[in-house]
Amino acid sequence: MAIDADKVAQDAINAIAEKIKNLNTLNIIVAGKTGVGKSTLINSVFREKLAETGMGKPVTQHMRKITKKGVPLAIYDTRGFELGKEVQTEVKKEVTETISKGFATQDINKAIHCIWYCINTASNRVEPEEIEWLKELSMDNQITQVPIIAVLTQAFSKKKALELRQMLLNENLDIIQVIPVLAEDYEIEDLGTAKAYGLDVLIKVMGEALPEELMDTLQNLQIVSLEEKKRRAQAAVATAALAAAGEGAAPIPFADCALMIPTQLGMIASITVIFGFDVNKSIITALLSSTIGAGGATVLGKTVVTNILKFIPGIGAVAGGAIAAGTAGVITAALGEAYIGVMELVFKGDMSIDDIGTKKGKETMSQLFKSNLKASNDCSQRKVGI
Q: Return the range that interacts with Mg ion (CB under 5 A); candidates 31-39, 213-221, 296-304, 371-379.
A: 31-39
Strand 298-299 vs strand 293-294: parallel, antiparallel, or unpaired? antiparallel
Distance of alpha carbon 279 from alpha carbon 16, whole angstroms: 9
Residues 138-157 binding ligand GDP (CB under 6 A) are: 153-154
Scored b (16 or more CB within 10 A) or e, 78-104 reads: bbbbeeeeeebeebbebbbebbeebbe
Nearer to ligand GDP, 39 or 157 (CB): 39
Instruction: In whole angstroms, give the CA distance from residue 115 to residue 177.
Output: 11
CA-only gyration radius of the chain, Å: 25
Which span sits near Mg ion by CB under 5 A: 32-40, 267-275, 337-345, 362-370? 32-40
Task: Give the one residue of 24, 39, 219, 225 binding Mg ion; rule: CB under 5 A.
Answer: 39
- CB half-sphere exposure, 344, CA atoms < 13 A: 17
* CB of 77 vs Mg ion, minimal distance in Å: 6
CB of 173 or CB of 196, closer to ligand GDP: 196
User: Given CA atoms 51, 52, 56, 60 in this order, what sign does their dihedral have?
Assistant: positive
Phi, psi of 132 (to 5 degrees): -60, -45
182 binds, among ligand GDP, Mg ion, none (CB under 5 to 8 A by kind): ligand GDP
Min dist CB 155 to ligand GDP, Å, is 8
Nearer CB in complex with ligand GDP: 120/291: 120
In the window 221-260, what residues touch ligand GDP (CB under 6 A)?
Answer: none
Partner from Mg ion, ligand GDP, none binding residue 377, C-beta < 5-8 Å depending on class: none
Q: Which of 38, 92, 232, 362 binds ligand GDP (CB under 6 A)?
A: 38
CA 140 remoteness from chain centre = 30
Beta strands in 231-297 (DSSP E): 252-253, 293-294
The count of chain residues that interact with ligand GDP, using the rule CB under 6 A, is 13
| Closest to Mg ion by CB, 150 or 331 | 150
Residue 361 CB, shortest distance to ligand GDP, in Å, is 34
> Looking at beta carbons, which residue is closest to ligand GDP?
37
Q: Are 180 and 161 in contact (CB under 8 A)?
A: yes
Identity of the residue, 56 or 301, whose beta carbon is nearer to Mg ion in the bound complex: 56
183 lines the binding site for ligand GDP (CB under 6 A):
yes
Q: Binders of ligand GDP among 314-333, rule CB under 6 A?
A: none
CA separation for the pair 242, 227 (Å, rounded): 22
- Which residues lie near Mg ion (CB under 5 A)? 38-39
- Which residues lie near ligand GDP (CB under 6 A)? 34-40, 153-154, 182-184, 186
